[in-house]
């Protein structure tokens, strides 16, 4: 079994394919963390608990004065507030008396072969026989809170997940003020914290800094996971590289306010918490009610940051992204936004389709501006009926004309938003998020609908379904173009107003689930001003997300490299745009590291450019399976080299490799040897462009000579190697 319990030592041991996670139960019922790292055959792990002597300032466990442990310095499995552990806490409950002291003790456990679903939340799936789950039930005997800790281990991957359910098993109400999904204790502080920061147009830049004594944290309180920080952190031991050394990765399957907090104490140990941001959060539990936390995904490897990323990629491809889109080639689409913005009609769109079809494009996507009376971004969100003054023959007629050109049809929505200048707002002004007595602060001239309300979700679902069910639509781009302010709900009582941020996310998940269930044939692409909600929660419902509104190829290198830290490239919405800073070939080579499509007016391309597009689409079809299913190796990161960026895909059987190198700015010298990775050193690989044959060993240890093949700003090259 992957999960075992030694009843004599009271030790739980959880083994994945390559890792071990261990925890113990104290004689008084406290839960202690023992170990997380490379696989251990041992079960004698209790000596790892002792962290040195303690003074009166470190409280003893009640009634256990002779125990060598104090809650203030002992590695806790799920830390609680106010009962002797002064470090950051994972759980804080305010009981009916108003105090916030929380203390949970072990009651029982179960080892499950089935992975329980999380109520109302996305989570990793399991397939028959590939997971085991440990459910530990603990109880706070003062408040009556029952806390269930869930640990799922994947047998074929070095991956485990964690989540928490809190139930009110008392006669009185209680309030959850903090309920993190995971608590991890790491001995030592010799780690670098790696995370992804940014803003609109500059998302997910990789940054790192050494852990320091005290607090370090990333978080969002914007109502979404946000452009600014991604719900992902890696902790790599000092000296760990892309391909060597130990690293822990944590990613939260959640699309709202999150926090990943790390505290390093005076004994040089690090406590890591990941979960819902406790700022602006409270959850009221009446007797019999329960609360479920989002799921945290945890990865450990001693093979470097690159292998950590590849483990996340394999995990999400197999266990997060849903069929049928997980394993199939995505359509090459052309989006109307950068080609026309709001200035289009049915004839212009058909003209786009006509030219795009000649080049091999599969789908035309009609972006913002087709509904209500929307000709600018100042009105009509929430009025999801067709503007027949703009689409003079109606939507069905337009789709017929586009289909007649040989293209499928896609459409844009922003379901969670409402314009003050809209029929929906005039009819239901209370349907937007608002706080009584305060003026709403608009952003992009729009407000946010209260997605916690079932009547609001029903209205949006019915409006959109009327369009989707009665028209031949194959793709929906789901946008979200602002963050949440004045986050209050007209339906919630005063003691539940701080639940609104989480209820908003749950409502969005519910609406998305209704759509993907009702329209399983439609390919949904998520978007939030580009990559403002690029997280695993969204990927559960949509297999791809528009990576960034920034479509400049050089800028996209940093954005896409950062995204690849934990997300597969098949999820990156990436297009070739009319950005003249780089050649058309480079724009395509960069977009190939993603879903691939076009964001331009095809009528404005020259004949030579159209021929290039035909060749690019042919290459996309040729390499798509390799890119989608292959292992990604980040060869030269754009944040580490001032001149070049390079990456590589290797097929699982190591028979194929696709290598791309881009010149970001002209280097000082033309001399350039690029060392590949992930090949079989004993295989012989043919460079299909030149016919030259090299061993995998030569390509990895000596490299391929690219001197003077690419040298000027914006140039790029792609090399395809096939084993003999």
Say yes or no to pLDDT of 526 above 90: yes
pLDDT confidence tier of residue 47, bands split at 50, 70 and 90: confident
Q: What's the CATH number where 655 sits?
A: 2.60.40.1180
Q: Which of 41-50, 192-201, 606-615 has the lowest mean pLDDT?
A: 41-50
Q: Does 492 map to a domain? A: no
pLDDT the model gives residue 66: 64
Query: Is 306 found in the same domain as 241?
Result: yes
The three-class DSSP label of residue 659 is strand
**Same domain (yes/no): 572, 679:** no
- Give the rounded percent of residues in the chain with a pLDDT score beyond 90: 93
Burial of 180 (0-12, 13-18, 19+ CB in 10 A): buried
Same domain, 307 and 341: no
- The answer to whether residue 62 scores a pLDDT higher than 80 is no
- 74 lies in the same domain as 128: yes
Domain boundary among 581, 606, 629: 629
Q: Are residues 250 and 263 in the same domain?
A: yes
Residue 11 placed within a domain: yes
Assess if residue 210 is contained within a domain.
yes
Q: Tell me the β-bridge partners of 150.
A: 135, 163
Establish if 446 belongs to a structural domain: no
pLDDT value of position 64: 67
User: 124 with 257, same domain?
Assistant: yes
Banded model confidence at residue 65, pLDDT cuts 50, 70, 90 = low
Its domain, for residue 104, covers: 3-319
C-alpha to C-alpha distance for 369 and 336, rounded to whole angstroms: 10
Residue 113 lies in a domain: yes
pLDDT at 55: 74
What pLDDT band is residue 67 in, cutting at 50, 70 and 90? low
What is the band of 642 on the pLDDT scale with cuts at 50, 70, 90? confident
Q: What is the pLDDT of residues 134-173, one digit of tens each?
A: 999 999 999 999 999 999 999 999 999 999 999 999 999 9
- For residue 59, what is the DSSP state? P
Which is nearest to 533 in space by CA: 282, 312, 256, 264?
256
Mean model confidence pLDDT for the chain: 96
Q: What angle do CA 640, 643, 647 make, to 5 degrees?
A: 65
Mean pLDDT of the 361-371 span: 98
Same domain, 143 and 219: yes
Residue where one domain finishes, among candidates 607, 629, 651: 629
Answer yes or no: is pLDDT of 38 > 90: yes
Residues 375, 266 share a domain: no
Q: How many domains does the chain have?
A: 3
What pLDDT was estimated at residue 203? 98
C-alpha radius of gyration, the chain, whole number: 27
Q: Does the annotation mark 549 as catalytic?
A: yes
Residues of the chain with pLDDT > 70: what percent?
99
Q: Are 417 and 449 in contact (CB under 8 A)?
A: yes
Give bridge partners of residue 684 from the DSSP assignment: 695
Q: Could you say which of 346, 479, 535, 631 is catalytic?
A: 479
Answer yes or no: 479 catalytic: yes
Classify the phi-psi angles of 382: left when phi > 0, otherwise alpha if psi is within -120 to 50, otherwise beta: left
Mean pLDDT of the region 488-504: 98
Question: 241 and 280 share a domain?
Answer: yes
Question: Residue 151 phi/psi, 5° resolution?
Answer: -130, 120
Say what the pLDDT of residue 650 is. Answer: 99
- Within a domain: residue 507? no
- The CATH number given to whatever domain includes residue 130 is 2.70.98.60
Q: Of 567, 596, 629, which closes a domain?
A: 629
Nearest to 280 by CA among 222, 329, 320, 204: 222
Distance from C-alpha of 232 to C-alpha of 250, rounded to nearest angstrom: 6
Q: pLDDT band for 43, please (50, 70, 90 cuts).
A: confident
Question: Is the predicted pLDDT of residue 69 greater than 80, yes or no?
Answer: no
Residue 258 lies in a domain: yes
Euclidean distance between the first and final Cα of the chain, in Å? 41
pLDDT of residue 212 exceeding 80: yes
The tens digit of pLDDT for each residue in 264-278 reads: 999 999 999 999 999
CATH of the domain at 529: 3.20.20.70
Task: Tell me, yes or no, whether 429 lies in a domain.
Answer: no
Say which of 103, 140, 450, 549 is annotated catalytic. 549
Domain identity same for 230 and 308: yes
Asked if residue 259 and residue 166 are part of one domain, the reply reads: yes
Residue 110 sits in the same domain as residue 165: yes
Can you list the positions of beta strands (E) in 547-697?
A: 572-573, 576-577, 597-599, 631-636, 644-650, 656-663, 673-674, 684-687, 693-695
């Amino acid at each position: 079994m992957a999960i075992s319990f030694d009843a004599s030592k009271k030790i739980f041991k959880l083994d994945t394919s390559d890792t071990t996670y261990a925890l113990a139960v104290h004689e008084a019922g406290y839960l202690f963390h023992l170990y997380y790292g490379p696989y251990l055959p041992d079960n004698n792990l209790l000596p790892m608990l002792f962290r040195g002597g303690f003074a009166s300032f470190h409280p003893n466990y009640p009634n256990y004065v002779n125990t060598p442990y104090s809650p203030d310095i002992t590695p806790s499995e799920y830390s609680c507030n106010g009962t002797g552990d002064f470090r950051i806490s994972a759980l804080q409950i305010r009981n009916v008396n108003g105090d916030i002291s929380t203390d949970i003790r072990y009651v029982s456990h179960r080892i499950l072969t089935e992975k329980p679903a999380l109520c109302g939340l996305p989570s990793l799936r399991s397939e028959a026989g590939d997971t085991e789950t440990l459910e530990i039930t603990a109880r706070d005997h003062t408040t009556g809170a029952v806390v269930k800790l869930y640990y799922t281990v994947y047998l074929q991957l070095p991956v485990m997940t964690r989540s928490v359910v809190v139930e009110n098993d008392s006669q009185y109400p209680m309030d959850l003020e903090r309920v993190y999904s995971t608590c991890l204790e790491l001995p030592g502080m010799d780690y670098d914290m790696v995370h992804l920061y940014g803003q609109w147009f500059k998302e997910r830049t990789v940054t790192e800094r050494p852990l320091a004594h005290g607090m370090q944290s990333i978080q969002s309180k914007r109502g979404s996971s946000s452009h600014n920080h991604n719900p992902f952190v890696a902790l790599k031991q000092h000296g760990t590289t892309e391909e060597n050394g130990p690293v822990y990765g944590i990613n939260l399957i959640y699309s709202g306010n999150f926090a990943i907090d790390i505290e390093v104490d005076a004994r040089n140990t690090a406590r890591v918490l990941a979960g819902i941001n406790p700022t602006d959060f409270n959850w009221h539990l009446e007797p019999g009610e329960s609360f479920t936390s989002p799921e945290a995904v945890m990865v450990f490897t001693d093979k470097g940051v690159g292998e950590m990323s590849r483990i996340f990629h394999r995990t999400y491809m197999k266990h997060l992204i849903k069929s049928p889109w997980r394993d199939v080639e995505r359509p090459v689409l052309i989006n109307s936004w950068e080609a026309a913005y709001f200035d289009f009609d049915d004839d212009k769109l058909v003209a786009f389709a006509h030219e795009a079809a000649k080049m091999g494009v599969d789908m035309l996507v009609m972006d913002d501006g087709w509904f209500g009376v929307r000709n600018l971004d100042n009105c009509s969100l929430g009025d999801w009926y067709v503007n027949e003054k703009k689409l003079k023959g109606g939507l069905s007629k337009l789709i017929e004309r586009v289909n007649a050109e040989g293209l499928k049809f896609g459409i844009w929505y922003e379901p969670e938003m409402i314009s003050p200048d809209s029929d929906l707002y005039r009819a239901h002004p209370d349907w937007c998020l608002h706080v009584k007595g305060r003026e709403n602060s608009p952003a992009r001239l729009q407000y946010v609908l209260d997605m916690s309300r079932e009547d609001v979700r029903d209205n949006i679902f019915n409006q959109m379904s009327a369009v989707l069910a009665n028209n031949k639509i194959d793709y929906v781009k789901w946008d979200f173009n602002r963050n949440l302010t004045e986050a209050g709900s007209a339906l919630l009582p005063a003691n539940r107003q701080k639940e609104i941020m989480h209820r908003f996310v749950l409502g969005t998940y519910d609406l998305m689930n209704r759509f993907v269930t009702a329209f399983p044939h439609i390919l949904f692409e998520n978007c939030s001003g580009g990559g403002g909600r690029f997280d695993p929660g969204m990927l559960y419902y949509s297999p791809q997300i528009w990576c960034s509104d920034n479509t400049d190829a050089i800028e996209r290198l940093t954005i896409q490299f950062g995204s690849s830290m934990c997300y597969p490239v098949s999820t990156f919405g990436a297009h070739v745009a009319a950005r003249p800073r780089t050649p058309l070939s480079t724009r395509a080579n960069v977009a190939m590291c993603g879903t691939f499509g076009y964001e331009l007016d095809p009528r404005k391309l020259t004949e030579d450019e159209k021929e290039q597009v035909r060749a690019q689409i042919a290459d996309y079809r040729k390499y798509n399976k390799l890119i989608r299913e292959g292992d990604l190796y980040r060869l030269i990161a754009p944040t580490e080299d001032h001149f070049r960026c390079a990456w590589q895909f290797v097929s699982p059987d190591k028979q194929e490799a696709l290598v791309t190198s881009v010149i970001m700015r002209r280097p000082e010298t033309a001399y350039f040897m690029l060392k590949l990775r992930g090949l079989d050193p004993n295989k012989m690989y043919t460079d299909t462009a030149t016919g030259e044959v090299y061993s995998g060993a030569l390509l990895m240890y000596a490299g391929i000579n690219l001197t003077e093949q690419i040298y000027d700003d914006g140039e790029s090259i792609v090399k395809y190697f096939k084993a003999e």
